[in-house]
Structure 1
Amino acid sequence: MKAPLLVPVALALVLGGCARTGEIDATGGITAIRSACPVVGVTAGTGDITLFKTPGATDENAIDVVANITGVRSTCADAGPDIATTVNFNVEARRTDATGARDLVLPYYIAIVRGGTNVVAKRIGRVNVHFDAGQARGQVAGEATTTIARSAATLPAEVRDKLTHRRKAGDEDAAVDPLSQPDVRQAVASASFEALVGFQLTEAQLKYNATR
């Protein structure tokens, strides 16, 4: 993989992962705060790629290959000062011309998103999809890894206290959702990360996916 590249774009999560912001118990406190592991998923608009036989063509008859990212899953090691996440996925491709064997290299990326919109790092990788002669379909497994500092993914103690504070009926703050407080909401967002994968698309490919 290449070195991380900062990119000024906002990514939308379309496939969920392992983290949660919390669960409210019967007394009004939040008993399970959140996992330090990033939520893992596929970025909206980049989970599939379409290649055409003729450059610039976008009609259905000109389609050469369609590929999709599927089966996204992850393993997370969060016991040390850094949180290491390995994201595994499959690339499933279908070609319109099954004549002869063929190898197709497709670029993909993994992006680290903080607070839902801030892309802090991006790495590019490639997978090789092989089609046997006479076969229209091919599949390959892909893998990407990321590391996040535990300190960045950890809520400040005062914010954790606000979230886990037990509230009883009749208390002045019993009906107040701590996440409605701007400082708490901002702290939770700042400590929340997503590890998102997708195909590295050209501007034309992004436009095709958005308008088809």
Structure 2
Amino acid sequence: MFKTTAAGAALSLLALAGCSSDGQIQATGITVTRSACPAVAIPAATGDVTLFNPPTSRDASAIDVVANISNLRATCDESGEYVQSNLTFEVSGRRSDASGAREVVLPYFSTVVQGGSNVIAKRLGRVALRFEDGQLRASTTATANAQVLRSAATLPEDIRKQVTRERKPGDADAALDPLSDPAVRVAVQRATFEVLVGFQLTEDQLRYNATR
């Protein structure tokens, strides 16, 4: 189910930009600082939801409410035993009939994923969109939080040294990506975490998003 918006990126890029141990990778003219904080993303096909009236219809004329998640942001504290991430995001909606005040409650999830596929924690929440009489649009802000054991997001010392070792032009392995070593690649993947946020959709809603 969880196919992130960054799923097409190479593992090396995810390892650099995502979460793992502190340190720097120095390659030919490039220095990248790494953090223990997890990357955040909205999984593909879960960032919006469409409600129909009647619920069993999929005709465009039956669309009742459309909502989407945007502006997903995170603040992170990596100073303790656990890396704490607090997320905020906006939920915006549009309804087809502006008559009468109405509240639409939508369920959402936040998950912690290790290594790109292993879900280690999941929480459910609910967010309410309040449409005033005569208004077609509504928006609100929602929150989520997650924690990752810092030791789990830290590379073993030998792997860290191999990844962060300075490589200078002229060295025999200067052009070699350290992640080409299977042991390094597996260790980095194991220490890589993401926090994913999206609407908690039914199978029918997921199918609609994937095939429309």
Q: TM-score, normalised by structure 2?
A: 0.88
Counterpart Cα distance in 2 of 1:206 and 1:14: 19
> Matched residue pairs, number?
201
Q: What residue number does 1:13 align with?
A: 5
Q: What residue number does 1:160 align with?
A: 160
Higher helix share: 2
Q: Is it true that 1:207 corresponds to 2:207 in the alignment?
A: yes
- Which digits, 9 at most, give the CA deviation of each residue in 1:19-56, with x for residues without a partner? 716654436xx743421111011111000000001121
| Equivalent of residue 26 in structure 1, options 28, 32, 39 | 28
Q: What residue number does 2:92 align with?
A: 92
Matches within 5 A, 1:5-154: 9-14=1-6, 20=17, 23-26=25-28, 31-154=31-154
Q: CA deviation at 1:14?
A: 4.7
State the percentage of identical aligned residues. 50
Q: CA deviation at 1:135?
A: 0.1
Residues 99 and 133 in structure 2, CA contact (< 8 A), matched pair in contact too? yes
Counterpart Cα distance in 2 of 1:95 and 1:168: 59
Q: CA deviation at 1:140?
A: 1.0
- Which digits, 9 at most, give the CA deviation of each residue in 1:113-145, with x for residues without a partner? 111111111110001110000000011110000
Residues 10 and 118 in structure 1, CA contact (< 8 A), matched pair in contact too? no
Counterpart Cα distance in 1 of 2:190 and 2:2: 15
Q: CA deviation at 1:12?
A: 1.9
Letter matched to residue 17 of structure 2? R
Gaps of 5+ in 1: 1-8
Q: What SS class does the counterpart of residue 151 from structure 2 fall into?
A: coil
Q: What SS class does the counterpart of residue 88 from structure 1 fall into?
A: strand
Coordinate RMSD, CA, aligned: 2.1
